Chains A and B, each alone.
Chain A
């Protein structure tokens, strides 16, 4: 890692336990919740909510608890209450499958509307929810008017990708990324062993040029950052920021297993 990058990556601890780093010069606050806060732009970013994952399994005969959407929205609501962002960007795979929106409990669905009120609410498409969001966009009148972003039932708008300052927000990280790429999709997690115990936590991964967010959803599993699918995206050893109970821990690459 070159000296300039190391400089920008030296994390600053915030009072709330979050870590602050710079990616392409932009201040990025890595939150304990797993969300990314861009204070300069008043923008909150969360990846891979996978809403209604529990009911997706139930529909196929495995009765996982139906409380995952509620748990995920609880955490999102807490972040909105604390940070009061002007803009919320969900990095794709916000819904687990194409029928997730229809399966949401009325309470949860209504809460989504409430959370999106009075702010710019942006959905990026992911591989899991392209169809779900696509179905929402079949709106002939809006289509005719050239307004491709409006949705039928959901609040907010859908965009394929989004630039925020020097950052470029998308769902799936590219092998040859544009500088400033912020992506989700991989659900990275880090494993360390200490005091004869293994600890595994969802994590952020960044080398100062690009940033990968952990999954925000309550039932989402993870992929070890040492897996080539994650590690292979970085030419140099990135920094890993693992989510603790009330703080984010910066981990050295060598301490991972």
Chain B
């Protein structure tokens, strides 16, 4: 067994700690010169385990030579969050100071001052903490090869949050670059517990050889205590805000020291924040934290948490990752968690000590959500995590990397191909595809070859590719990165100027929010933002103009439910729970009654079959299906089904989806349809293709690919191109390119992105295959108990204005009465 060097062993002893098994195993892996992946739950000293080998190595090295070999950066630390680098710098300085090590640590993010960045170049620290975007920038810099020649180790933190996307692609390509600068470089990754750590080991290893990575697993912590809140013994039929349980949530906050209340969307966070303050008789300091608030406001809340000044914070996934801001002792999850991995992450926020159980309270907003919460609780107990697919690197990120390399130094095509094919996400890249990417980087890759004389990269006398001039290189460096922020608008308080021009003048800035949100508002609509009620007035340039709203009831549109669709593993568990009558006994009585009523009125489907109900209601005919595959896959399915229903002459009028079910309504009855034909998996062929071409989602996706690949520049010297302008011009470019070169590399990339992300086509494909020959149709006289949540959604889509909530409530009750009519008296109480 490896032991700590005396200097470190003494420090552990002084602190009253003993080194954990996984920390020693990480040191052993370093001594063996092996790459390493540490998979451990929050609170296990994971970050320290990642750094210990470097600290030991640096302590043994002694004073650093001023120049020559060994004078460069020793260890590079990369985190997906800027805030995390600051946090880690603070935590890393403690052992360095207390042991008395002569180790120089600095951080470098987009916020670092230019003068400091220059100093870091001239005089590199021993350990540099940075982000993937800064690393990509380093790779596009002329001095990169010499600068990183001494690099011994790179530590990638929170790697589970980043590996399977475009940022992960870019980071992996950068790893390959660094490895070529310093062939002995050791790769170390730290991950939260995930379903299949081997996928990350494969991602991390050069050439995807996971056997070259030492897998270190942390000890599981004490099992968390998770409760599901059933307000006054009752669970609402439908809804997704959890409004009914607010008083009990407040009571839970009163009993805790510091509670984190997680919600799934920022608009939900505003709503819950408002509701809590409305009953905050004790004036408890309750804060709000989400991504749209002005940065200073977020910092204030974080600082107050760290000081222990707050009793509760309502937050979104902005607090998901491993930042330690105080002694949280209770995590409340409002509405269903949607995935077991996310739930475990969030619960990990409570109590950063491994040996004490974390406490969490889940608040289901509806009966399906209750099933989901129960499934999540069981999944956590079983250590079952969400399954993630293997990821193939995208070509737009590769184009950005190739351009970066050309900006850094001339490259030989065959050498660079070998380097890139050694990067795990690009293992399957063919030479032809690589040539196509290089051509795209040079001239845009157009069949009409009129741009050869404008090429951005050109071959030099040695036949190597290099950037044409320094202006082009500079512009590339300004646009590096794989996160394309949605276009955001400044939210400003406005006053109205008289006259026919309807001119509004923007004043004080309240915060920022996504453009799409305002696009669906009409002037006069009221909404909650930063804890206050505003009336939307209009958009002017980059500003959304708002005025203080006099009425107290905001419209709060775009409830939209969760941003995250229901995860695959929870979906399976919910389906099994519904099928298994013995399992019902763990559920609250009213939910059991609801399931029994469904069994009487319609059907309880098997876990592998699909229940389809049809019934008339009002002047319409309804089709309700229950795939339990998440909103995204359901939306795609509805788009495709309505196309087919249209061809069958049924006259589909509209559809809505939830995470559990979907509803389509039509002019003519749908009872006599051939269900197997309707749900034939071949809909993912031509129907999908035809629909995609018309979809506005494709334009959004194309815009992202155009920005990441460098076709469109977000920033230009002198002026930043705004998100709004970019959106508009890429739409025109998309239309023209689609007509004149439909097989262009960027269009293909955009189609693949849309299929995997926005449409969840893979998941839909699995569903359609699973249910072949297993569709169970229940022709009904009226709506079933299961159909209530999705039917209530239809009501929500129709109404608008201030009375929306009242109308909604009333129509939901009507519907429930209708469903309960003629039910046996003992079940009437279930309503």
A contacts, CB < 8 Å to B: 55, 58-59, 61-68, 70-71, 103, 105, 193, 196-198, 200, 218-222, 226, 228, 231-232, 234-237, 257
Contact = CB atoms under 8 A, between A and B. Distances in A.
B446 A221 contact: no
A64 B711 contact: yes
A71 B736 contact: yes
Contacts of A219: 729, 732-733, 736
A65 B446 contact: yes
Given A58-B444, A65-B446, A228-B501, A193 B520 contact: yes
A61 B736 contact: no
A55 B451 CA distance: 7
A68 B501 contact: no
A198 B739 contact: no
Contacts of B446: 63, 65-67
Contacts of A237: 500
B736 A218 contact: yes
Nearest to A219: B732
A58 B448 CA distance: 13
Contacts of B450: 55, 66, 103, 105
B451 A63 contact: yes
Interface string B420-449: 000000000000000000001001111010
Nearest to A232: B501
Contacts of A66: 444, 446, 448, 450-451
Given A61-B472, A63-B451, A257 B740 contact: no
Contacts of B729: 219, 221
B17 interface: no
A58 B732 CA distance: 16
Nearest to A255: B522
> Lowest 3 CB-CB distances: which A-B pairs, in order?
A63-B444, A67-B740, A198-B519
Contacts of A63: 440, 443-446, 451, 454, 456, 711
Contact of B520 (A103, A197, A232): A197
B702 to A, nearest CB: 12
8 contacts: A58-B454, A62-B711, A63-B451, A64-B444, A64-B711, A64-B712, A67-B739, A234-B500
B725 A65 contact: no
Contacts of B606: none
A219 B731 CA distance: 9
B15 interface: no
Contacts of A58: 443-444, 451, 454
Given A196-B520, A197-B520, A67 B737 contact: yes
B728 interface: yes
B501 A222 contact: no
Interface in B504-524: 519-523
Dominant secondary structure at the A interface: loop
A224 to B, nearest CB: 9
B502 interface: yes
A156 to B, nearest CB: 24
A67 B736 contact: yes
A65 B456 contact: no
A68 B451 contact: no
Contact of A257 (B454, B472, B538): B538
A236 B500 CA distance: 7
Interface string B17-30: 00000000000000
Given A71-B739, A105-B448, A61 B456 contact: yes
Contacts of A218: 732, 735-736
B739 A193 contact: no
A218 B539 CA distance: 25
Contacts of A222: 728
B448 A198 contact: no
B503 interface: yes
Interface string B283-306: 000000000000000000000000
A220 B444 CA distance: 20
A231 B539 CA distance: 16
Contacts, number: 98
Contacts of A71: 736, 739-740
B713 A65 contact: no
A62 B713 contact: yes
Contacts of A257: 522-523, 538-539
Given A61-B475, A63-B443, A221-B729, A70 B740 contact: yes
A219 B501 CA distance: 28
A218 B445 CA distance: 20
Contacts of B520: 193, 196-198
Nearest to A220: B732
Given A62-B711, A65-B736, A67-B736, A193 B444 contact: no
Contacts of B471: 61
Contacts of B563: none
B318 interface: no
Contact of B454 (A59, A228, A231, A235): A59
A246 to B, nearest CB: 15
B3 interface: no
B741 interface: yes
A221 B730 CA distance: 10
Nearest to B522: A193
A105 B735 CA distance: 20
Nearest to B732: A219
B459 to A, nearest CB: 17
Contacts of B501: 226, 228, 231-232
Contacts of B735: 218
A64 to B, nearest CB: 6
Given A65-B740, A66-B450, 11 more contacts: A55-B451, A55-B454, A59-B454, A61-B468, A62-B712, A62-B713, A63-B443, A64-B733, A66-B451, A218-B735, A221-B725
Contact of A68 (B503, B712, B736): B736
Contacts of B744: 65
Contacts of B728: 200, 221-222
A209 to B, nearest CB: 15
A193 B448 contact: no
A62 B471 CA distance: 12
Nearest to A256: B502
A27 to B, nearest CB: 28
A226 B444 CA distance: 36
Contacts of A62: 711-713
Nearest to B797: A196
Contacts of A232: 501
A214 to B, nearest CB: 13
A202 B520 CA distance: 20
A120 B712 CA distance: 39
B458 to A, nearest CB: 12
A215 to B, nearest CB: 11
Nearest to A199: B519
A206 to B, nearest CB: 16
A219 B740 CA distance: 14
A71 B502 CA distance: 36
A50 B519 CA distance: 29
Nearest to A65: B737
A231 B521 contact: no
Contacts of A196: 520, 557
A101 B200 CA distance: 54
A237 B711 CA distance: 40
Interface string B727-755: 01100110111011100100000000000
Contacts of A59: 454
Contacts of A231: 500-502
A193 B800 CA distance: 14
Contacts of A64: 444, 711-712, 733
Nearest to B472: A61
A61 to B, nearest CB: 5
Contacts of A67: 446, 448, 736-737, 739-741
Interface string B653-673: 000000000000000000000
Contacts of B739: 67, 71
A200 B539 CA distance: 13
Nearest to A237: B500
